[in-house]
Amino acid sequence: MVPEVARVSVPGHVTGCFSVHRDPDPQIAGSRGAGITLTDGATVVVDRTGSRDLELDGTKTTMASVEHVLATLDVEPAVQVETAVPVGAGFGISGAVALGVALGANAVYACGHTENDLVAIAHAAEVEASTGLGDVVAQARGGAPIRREPGAPPHGTLDGIPAGGRIEYVTFGELSTAAVIGGDTGAINDAGAAALRTILDDPTLSAFMSASRTFAREAALLTPSVERAIEHVVDAGGEATMAMLGDTVVALGTGLSDAGYEPAACSIAHAGVQIEAGSGYFS
């Protein structure tokens, strides 16, 4: 029986370092780099009985990545999204919603796609919308993903840092992803490649944080608020870095708390995207 409603849970994703890889095919384009997925993310409810609209945390809106997904699948559901993290602050919410809509719509319209198909559709939608280059594939995987090769399945290659634990974060504002990835990325690519080599040589969360801090500095992406907060955490004996691309600091364990901040806290997500429930099908 085909469900009328699907509920999809998608982890947040914080990129620590990256390099941009362009291609005319949006499923091949993407990024190399590394990040961590978070238990704080987005819940996406897709309903084929409702009129087509998108509601984000109670407010009607539009998202280019979602429009691309719906156009590819040729469906018009009602979509409701609840987020546990700030939007536009480096937590991969655009990718999370695109991925959640892809999986949810596939379920309620019986589109017949595999998981890899849907990840590729959502990834391409993010690339075409200029809102992300690697969040979707990371959110599909979970954990602490390393993007060894860019692109969606079957083009990209994923690995991971075998670790978990508590993550704290503080957000100071928003940054434009499109403005960064759409411009000259020479310095970003050089710094991102070096950071990725460091992480592959020492695949630990501590090395990830250190390499990501160096990346943010060498790529000239640090904001004053983020730079100060990172310095405070490191001075207090902790590990922290900038969330790409947002005016946000993430820290391991109690790093921000120990530095005197009042952060939000969650954990590294052990699993990637999951369809949680659906009327008449998932119960």
Name the token pair of 34.
Answer: 């590394």
- Residue linked to tokens 């620590």: 16
Task: Indicate where the chain has its CATH 3.30.230.10 domain(s).
Answer: 5-160+269-277
Q: How far apart are CA 22 and CA 41, in angstroms?
A: 27
pLDDT of residue 278 exceeding 70, the answer is no
Predicted confidence (pLDDT) per residue in 7-20, tens digit: 999 999 999 999 99
Answer yes or no: are the C-beta atoms of 208 and 144 closer than 8 Å: yes
Question: What's the mean pLDDT in 27-42?
Answer: 98
Name the helix (H) or strand (E) containing 126: helix 115-129
pLDDT of residue 26 exceeding 60, the answer is yes
**What phi and psi, each to the nearest 5 degrees, are found at residue 182?**
-90, -10
Name the token pair of 169.
Answer: 């974060």
Return mean pLDDT, the chain: 94
pLDDT for 198: 98
Task: Indicate where the chain has its CATH 3.30.70.890 domain(s).
Answer: 166-267
Confidence of residue 282 (pLDDT cuts 50, 70, 90): very low
Name the token pair of 140.
Answer: 């599909």
Q: Which CATH number fits domain 166-267: 3.90.870.10, 3.40.50.970, 3.30.70.890, 3.40.190.10?
A: 3.30.70.890
Which carries the bigger pLDDT value, residue 3 or residue 177? Answer: 3
| Count of Cβ atoms closer than 10 Å to residue 84 Cβ | 17
For the chain, give me the number of helices (H) and strands (E)? 9, 12
CATH of domain 5-160+269-277: 3.30.230.10
State pTM to two decimals: 0.94
